Amino acid sequence: MSRILITSALPYINGIKHLGNLAGSMLPADVFARFQRARGHEVLYICATDEHGTPAELAAAKAGQDVRTYCDEQHLIQKNAGDAFGLSYDWFGRSSSPENRQLTQAFCEALDKNGLIEERVDKMVYSIDDGRFLPDRYVEGTCPHCGYDKARGDQCDNCGRLLDPTDLINPYSAVSGSRNLEVRDTRHLYLLQTKVEPQLRAWIAGKSEWPQLALSIANKHLEEGLIDRGITRDLKWGVPVTKDGKPRPGFEDKVFYVWFDAPIEYIGSTKEYFTSQGNPDGWQKWWRLDQGADDVRYVEFMGKDNVAFHTVSFPATILGSGEPWKMVDTLKAFNWLNWYGGKFSTSMNRGVFMDQALDILPADYWRWYLIANAPESSDSSFTWEQFQATINKDLADVLGNFVNRILKFTESKFDGVVPEGGEAGPLEEKLYADVSALLVEAAEAFEAMEMRKAAQAVRRIWVLGNEYLQEAAPWTAFKTDTVRASVIVRHGLNLVRLYAVLAQPIIPFAAQSIADCVGVQLPLAWPSDDAKAELTKLVAGTQVQSGEVLFKKIDDDMVAEWTTRFGGSET
């Protein structure tokens, strides 16, 4: 048994997240966590709300709340949304926690002692109309590298370059739209990333097995050349800046940059979890190499826009501290899930957000679609038509149809009991071989975090069951050879059990409903590669029963209604 630490990108506090956010980090991380638990590994799946920075301040002001109250409410909303989607976090923490505050300040002090923190008088954009310095992402303008006219002051979403606000052409305030800006002097702390560049290069060079998307982004930023990054901001809401345990002189009205403290919250959230369990030092065995974390496998999941910070800035913090921290082993990055080729937008009525999704369909419909169409090799676009086709074909016609047919037949012909008698024949031997091969394929895909391939392999095993049932035709055999019919039905019911086990990582709620039909309780261990052994686990005499329809089909009227409500090809 291995120990596996899993983190997904922290959802920002202001507002419920859309399907693209779910598909790009939280959901695949959950699928991987569930799979590894089923394999018998000790898994710790950690996430948290990212609560600091200007967006939280502005959102709280708009809501007429103080920022702490606003974050308290939004954290609960996001936690509940995650629970409703079946995200099996071991802990869903908060970057505003005391644990993260202490760790962030400790990291800065360690970096400072190692000569990697420098005070600089910086020139930052000040909005005269807003009466405030504008943090990086609240200055927008034209990218000097690619000409994209909506680049942010920290990064261009079009070409991926990391930027400073003063780099932008024709800048304006994203708060008010005002172009009445000027550059003023302000003192800030800088992390001297350039001094740890050799260590960063060596570390990334050792990650040749990373998925290509993450590796290409990491190398791109190294090739462009690292720059020293400011790690403090002129804000009130955030982690206070300290030195030797006291407020740092001249920085009393400043806080750490959200991108400095947010990744540290992976550690902070782990500390929150173990503190809640009455074991305040337990987090160290997951994060400190000198406390036993050297045997931990650490995997991060995130969208491609977060990769630069997790392959450059956060590793620079860890390496620069000079302390024995556990660093990520594998970074699984995803491209973007778009909405009909455009971005999700609440103001433009474009796209479905997590709370809205659950208003119209159960979580498993969304989970299956998003994993089966995960944006791994390139950006992908959600369309209602593709969603309808995926759900109807995969879940209703293949999985749901098989489970319903075999259970209904068992109830009508075998009194709802797994029948006994008879020996496996050529059709069953072929089934064993075909299923065994696909079980290997599915496990390898899950292990490699290749979500689309994993879903495809699982679906192909579902298809095998339908093909077996169609060819074996128990309804015909029953008329002349009840023993042969018993063999077919017994294998069909064992396929139902197997399908429940295979469905656990991707569609956990439906998996339990399927398991209930054949009298088993999940979670169950991931199946072995020996299909013959897996298809003989339900013993004769076991009571089974059909339940409600597992997956209702999505009809054209529903698609038309949702297109009008949420936007689509006609908007």
CA 540 to chain centroid = 41
In a domain, 545, yes or no: no
Total domains in the fold of the chain: 1
In a domain, 315, yes or no: no
Nearest CA to 230 out of 198, 192, 173 is that of 192
In a domain, 507, yes or no: yes
Lookup result for tokens 């506090």 = 13
> Could you tell me where the DSSP H helices lie in 301-350?
307-308, 314-321
Host domain of residue 397: 383-534
Residue 191: strand pairing partners: 117, 229
Under 8 Å CB-to-CB from 37, ≥6 apart: which residues?
Answer: 43, 88, 523
Q: How many CA atoms lie within 13 A of 497 on its CB side?
A: 25
In a domain, 439, yes or no: yes
Q: What end-to-end distance do the CA atoms of the chain give, in Å?
A: 51
Q: Is 143 annotated as a binding residue?
A: yes
In a domain, 459, yes or no: yes
In a domain, 527, yes or no: yes
CA distance 30 to 535: 27
Cβ atoms < 10 Å from Cβ of 410 = 26
Cβ atoms of 133 and 165 within 8 Å: the answer is no
Cβ atoms of 125 and 179 within 8 Å: the answer is no
CA distance 11 to 19: 12
From first to last of its 571 residues, the chain has per-residue pLDDT tens of: 799 999 999 999 998 999 999 999 999 999 999 999 999 999 999 999 999 988 898 899 889 999 999 999 999 999 999 999 999 999 999 999 999 999 999 999 999 999 999 999 988 899 999 888 888 878 999 999 999 999 999 889 899 888 889 899 999 998 889 999 999 999 999 999 999 999 999 999 999 999 999 999 999 988 888 899 999 999 889 999 999 999 999 999 999 999 999 999 999 999 999 999 999 999 999 999 999 999 999 999 999 999 999 999 999 999 999 999 999 999 999 999 999 988 887 656 678 999 999 999 999 999 999 999 999 999 999 999 999 999 999 999 999 999 999 999 999 999 999 999 999 999 999 999 999 999 999 999 999 999 999 999 999 999 999 999 999 999 999 999 999 999 999 999 999 999 999 999 999 999 999 999 999 999 999 999 999 999 999 999 999 999 889 999 999 999 999 999 987 764 4
What CATH number did the domain enclosing 420 receive?
Answer: 1.10.730.10
Q: Is 156 annotated as a binding residue?
A: yes
In a domain, 516, yes or no: yes
In a domain, 51, yes or no: no
